[in-house]
Chain A
Amino acid sequence: MSDAAGATTETAASFVAKAFSSRSFVVGFAITSLIALMAIVSFFWVPYDVTVLPVADRMKPPSATHLLGTDHFGRDILSMIMVGSRNSIAVALVAVGIGMGLGVPLGCWAAARGGWVDEVLMRFNDLVFAFPALLSAIMITAIFGPGAINAIIAIGIFNVPVFARVARAGALALWPREFILAARAAGKGPALITLEHILPNIATALLVQGTIQFALGVLAEAGLSYVGLGAQPPMPSWGRMLFDAQTRMMVAPYLAIFPGMAIVATVLGLNLLGDGLSDVLDPKLRRQR
């Protein structure tokens, strides 16, 4: 297991150097930061205000004044994509936070206690997994009403079992290891051992899973908005833009193309980032190249 140790002592500088030698990490990191940057900039500046509806300018194809064109209310598409990215990122981020915040402790608890606790928690997990996530999210928003908050909760709940499983699998593999036995012989209880030894050793797996769930969160949010259960107008959102573009596909395909590209780019970027991270952080894979 000496290779597992390799990752830990790297100074920040050598980690960065290694990370940037991984192609998927570099590309994923670039796309992801571009989108994050877009979201941050949108707070201070957008080309056009998206809350005014200059109907005279409606349905303009891409041009010098409106880089990506305008929609059926005359709003600038670029501005809407920029503002919409905030919504996508916020929803996905909080949903991943809910998933990790609940899933990781549950998974660690199940691994540490074993027995019936493990059994009950994991079977409940299976139950949540068994529902098609998007369908259940629709159900939740249908009951509690549409809106960004409910979308976040709905997506977040379905992240819980994913993180619980990853955490439990990682923890279960660590518990019989001798250094954990040594910690137990030093009188440390399960909670302390989990905090000191288990969590740092499964952090890598959780981080990688986190980026992938983030991408899925963006996708789920777009899906919910598309069916009208996500962010409500006038708040722009990518899924909603796609829905609005649907009926005008023949006349103005750019209405659908640009928000669609934004979604694809975000998901692709995050997946590449996750893939790159797992390469960079897993010393065994790294050694083989």
Chain B
Amino acid sequence: MSLLEIEKLGVDIGGTPILKGIDLSIAAGEAVGLVGESGSGKSMTALTMMRLLPHLARTSGRVTFDGIDILSATEERMCALRGDDIGMVFQEPMTALNPVKTIGEQVAEGIRWHTGVGRAEAEDRARRILDRVGLPEAKFPLSRYPHELSGGQRQRVVIAIACALKPKLLIADEPTTALDVVLQKQILDLLRDLVQENRMGLLLISHDLAVVTDMSDRVTIMRHGEVMEEGETARTLSNQVHPYTRQLAEASMHVPARAKTHAFQGAAPLLEVNNVVRDYPGRRASLLRKGTPTRAVDDVSFTIHPGQSTALVGRSGCGKSTLARMILALDRPTAGSIRLTGEELTTKDEAALKPLRRNMQVVFQDPYGSFDPRHRVERLVAEPLHLLDRRIGAAERRDMVAAALHEVGLSSRDMDKYPHEFSGGQRQRISIARAIITRPKLVVADEPVSALDVSIRAQILDLFADLNQRLGVAYLFITHDLTVARAITDDVMVMHDGRIVERGRTGDVLDDPQSDAAKDLVAAAPDLHRAIARRLREQG
């Protein structure tokens, strides 16, 4: 008998159906992947298992966990199950921990609550599980607070809380989406080991097919609250019987068609970065002594030619975004020079920068945070027109915005809408429209697709490739995702601890990395082809 059995599960909230006829089963010790794009109902399914659905949600069908009918169990019974027999790991380790409690307290809390053991013993068990997840007490005492830990370490604490009582089922809802690839691999390895050691059932929710293939025996693919396909992981993803499965698999390996890359040799460089250093003042050691400064960017030099698409890859916190800000003249380097079309950026004041800013624009990661929620699209997209020397009339402005929107595949009717009326992918298009309206020569894109679903991501990458071809825009693509770098860039620079440790043609560097940092990144990057091949090989 299965550990968890979901039959014909339906959920609706306020009359809107959210889940329709979901069937899913997990055997003891089995790992099942739940895949789908945003809004497909993955997280809702997980919340139903814990019975943590929002108020007003109505359920139908049957959910049986270990012989208990979850949907009709008493709240008391559920409290006993949650955290004891079913553990949960959330996506955002920043918000899943209570900032005012120490990590020891937070791990021990669940142990004491469920087992009724005393404080000393609970702490002892907390110490052991924290040690198991890679936070040994010698380096990470129980008295640490969440803010004193990095993102990856925090996620380890969350895993420790979920696994402290050796639950029969562990639900991991996008456990690594907020982490960079190297951390992602470490966390996934840890999860896999813990699950195998204790013979836990694992439900891994993810939008990343490669991660799911790596981790799970069986996979369930969801869309719009329905199960599209279900089956043994490697076979399902390699046969791709269902059209939606094929669509997902293709989108996650999508490489935009790019004609022969431009020839850069001989042409004057567009952007020259020479020996750039950026220090941040450290915390004061005492009232009179200044703290030692932190070096975020350390002696970085490179050039970008017109039309060239360059990737800047590296782990989180390696200084990529700081470098991007200095190139955009939003921040000044401590030392070194940055030249755009031969003109120095670092010494000019805001007025003198104006003509230069016209040639460089930016696309940010978060399609939600990069627009003023109180302005309409017309005004948002037209914002960089401020950089033009002449004043622009209302009619001409509308024409230019319409042209830019058309360029990114949106309609000119969209300009009277507000940003919240658009989906994430559409917003990212608006963001690109804003970046190209002044016809810049360089666009700096800071993780522009990492917040998007795979199929949307493929479309946006196509758009970037297309604009590069048609308008000859040069890109500096900042990313930690090597698939993106491979898909869209000619050259790649690997950054580590503020330094550029390796550079070269994208294909060469990613296929045959030389530096340790690049090797780590390449080894950790999830790859669907390799993952499927490995699975099939294991099964013989």
Q: Could you list which residues of chain A lie within 8 angstroms of chain B, going by C-beta atoms?
A: 1-2, 4-6, 8-9, 177-179, 181-189, 192, 196-197, 200-201
Chain A, Cβ-Cβ closest to B369 = A178
A192 to B384, CA, bound (A): 13
Nearest B residue to A183, CB-CB: B383
Q: Does B218 contact A (CB under 8 A)?
A: no
- Bound CA–CA A93/B312 (angstroms): 56
Total A-B contacts with CB atoms under 8 angstroms apart: 75
- Say if the beta carbon of B366 comes within 8 Å of chain A: yes
Return chain A residues, CB-CB under 8 Å to B366.
178
Among A1, A185, A188, A189, contact of B362 (Cβ-Cβ < 8 Å): A185
**Does B383 lie within 8 Å of A1, measured CB to CB?**
no
Give the distance in Å from the alpha carbon of A6 to the alpha carbon of B420 in the complex.
Answer: 7
Known pairs A185-B357, A189-B350 / 18 extra A-B pairs, C-beta < 8 Å: A1-B368, A5-B418, A5-B419, A9-B420, A178-B370, A182-B362, A182-B364, A182-B371, A183-B383, A186-B383, A186-B384, A187-B358, A187-B384, A187-B387, A188-B383, A197-B372, A201-B373, A201-B374
Please tell me if B386 contacts chain A, counting CB pairs below 8 Å.
yes
Are A185 and B374 also in contact (CB < 8 A) when A8-B418, A9-B418, A178-B366 are? Answer: no
Whether B236 is near chain A, meaning CB under 8 Å from some CB there, is no
In chain A, what residue has the closest Cβ to B370? Answer: A178
- Is B45 at the interface (CB under 8 A from chain A)? no
Residues A200 and B420 in contact in the complex (CB < 8 Å), given A182-B364, A186-B383: no
Task: Please tell me if B361 contacts chain A, counting CB pairs below 8 Å.
Answer: yes
Cα separation A181 to B357 with both chains bound (whole Å) = 13
**Chain B neighbourhood of A184, CB < 8 A:** 330
Q: A186-B357, A187-B357 are in contact. Are A2 and B420 (CB under 8 A)?
A: yes
A186 adjacent to B370 (CB under 8 Å): no
Q: Quick check: A179 and B372 within 8 Å, CB to CB?
A: yes
In the complex the two chains form, is A5's CB within 8 Å of B373's CB?
yes
Alpha-carbon distance A204/B353, docked complex (angstroms): 34
Query: Are A179 and B362 in touch, CB under 8 angstroms?
Result: no
Inter-chain contacts of B386 with A (CB < 8 A): 186-188, 192
The CA of A257 and the CA of B374, in the complex, are separated in Å by 47
Cβ-closest chain A residue relative to B350: A189
B357 partner residues in chain A, CB cutoff 8 A: 185-187
Q: A182-B434, A185-B384 are in contact. Are A2 and B368 (CB under 8 A)?
A: yes
Indicate if B354 sits at the interface (CB-CB under 8 A): yes
How close is A39's CB to chain B, nearest CB, in angstroms? 33
Contacts of B409-466 to chain A: CB distance below 8 A: 418-421, 431, 434
Q: B495 interface residue, CB < 8 Å from A? A: no
- Distance from A105 Cβ to chain B, minimum over Cβ atoms (Å): 20
Interface set of B (CB-CB < 8 Å, partner A): 325, 328, 330, 350, 353-354, 357-358, 360-362, 364-366, 368-374, 383-384, 386-387, 418-421, 431, 434
Q: How far is the CA of A118 from the CA of B330 in the complex (A)?
A: 20
A2 to B360, CA, bound (A): 27
Find out whether the CB atom of A185 lies under 8 angstroms from the CB atom of B419.
no
Which 5 pairs between the two chains have the least Cβ-Cβ distance? Answer: A5-B420, A5-B373, A178-B370, A186-B384, A178-B364
Q: Which residue of B lies closest to A189 (CB)?
A: B350
Q: Which residues of B contact A196 (CB under 8 A)?
A: 372
Q: Which residue of A lies closest to B371 (CB)?
A: A179
For this complex, 5 residue pairs linking A to B, each with C-beta atoms less than 8 Å apart, are A2-B420, A6-B420, A9-B418, A182-B364, A196-B372
Q: Could you tell me the distance in whole angstroms from the C-beta of A6 to the nearest C-beta in chain B?
A: 7
User: Smallest CB–CB gap between A183 and chain B, Å?
Assistant: 6
Per the bound structure, the CA–CA distance linking A72 and B409 in Å amounts to: 79
| Residues of chain A contacted by B420 (CB below 8 angstroms) | 2, 5-6, 9
Residues of chain B lying within 8 A (CB to CB) of residue A8: 373-374, 418
- Partner among A5, A9, A181 whose Cβ is within 8 Å of the Cβ of B330: A181
- What is the minimal beta-carbon distance from B345 to any residue of chain A, in angstroms? 12
CB distance from A55 to the nearest CB of B (A): 60
Cα distance A192–B387 in the bound complex, in angstroms: 13
Smallest CB gap from A4: residue in B: B373
B92 CB to nearest A CB, Å: 15
**Residues in chain B near residue A187, CB distance under 8 A:** 350, 353-354, 357-358, 384, 386-387
Q: What is the CA–CA distance of A65 and B361 in the complex, to the nearest angstrom?
A: 75
Minimum C-beta distance from A195 to chain B (A): 12
Residues of chain B with a CB closer than 8 A to A183's CB: 372, 383
Q: Is the CB of B387 within 8 A of A181?
A: no
**Could you tell me if B387 and A1 are in contact, using CB atoms closer than 8 angstroms?**
no
A187 to B437, CA, bound (A): 14
A4-B330 Cα distance, complex, nearest whole Å:
26
Q: A1–B373 contact, CB under 8 A?
A: yes
Q: Which of B354, B364, B419, B434 contacts A181 (CB 8 A)?
A: B364
State in angstroms the CA–CA spacing of A185 and B340 once bound together: 14
* Closest CB in chain A relative to B284 CB, distance in Å: 15
Chain A residues within 8 Å of B371, by CB = 179, 182
| Complex contact B372–A201 (CB within 8 A) | yes
Given the complex, which residues of B lie within 8 Å of A201, measured CB to CB? 372-374
Docked-complex contact B418 and A182, CB < 8 angstroms: no
Closest A-chain residue to B384, C-beta based? Answer: A186
- Centre residue among A178, A200, A201 by max chain B CB count within 10 A: A178
| Whole-angstrom CA separation of A186 from B350 in the bound complex | 11
Cα A201 to Cα B434 with chains together (Å): 21
CA distance A161 to B406 in the complex (A): 48
List the B side residues contacting A5 at CB < 8 Å.
373-374, 418-420
Contact of B374 with A182 in the complex, beta carbons under 8 Å: no
Assembled-state Cα–Cα distance A223/B371 (Å): 46
Residue of A nearest to B379 (CB): A196
Q: Which residues of A contact B353 (CB under 8 A)?
A: 187
Task: Give the docked Cα–Cα distance between A84 and B418 (Å).
Answer: 46
Give the docked Cα–Cα distance between A4 and B383 (Å): 20
Given A5-B420, A6-B420, A8-B418, are A185 and B370 neighbors across the interface (CB < 8 Å)?
no
Q: What residue in chain B is nearest A192 (Cβ atoms)? A: B386
Q: Which of B350, B369, B418 contacts A1 (CB 8 A)?
A: B369
A176's nearest neighbour on chain B, judged by CB, is B369
Q: Which of B361, B369, B419, B434 contacts A177 (CB 8 A)?
A: B369
Cα A200 to Cα B372 in complex, Å, equals 10
- Is the Cβ of A186 less than 8 Å from the Cβ of B387? yes
Q: In the complex, how many angstroms separate the beta carbon of A114 from the nearest chain B beta carbon?
A: 13
Given contacts A186-B383, A187-B354, A188-B386, contact A181 B418 (CB under 8 A): no
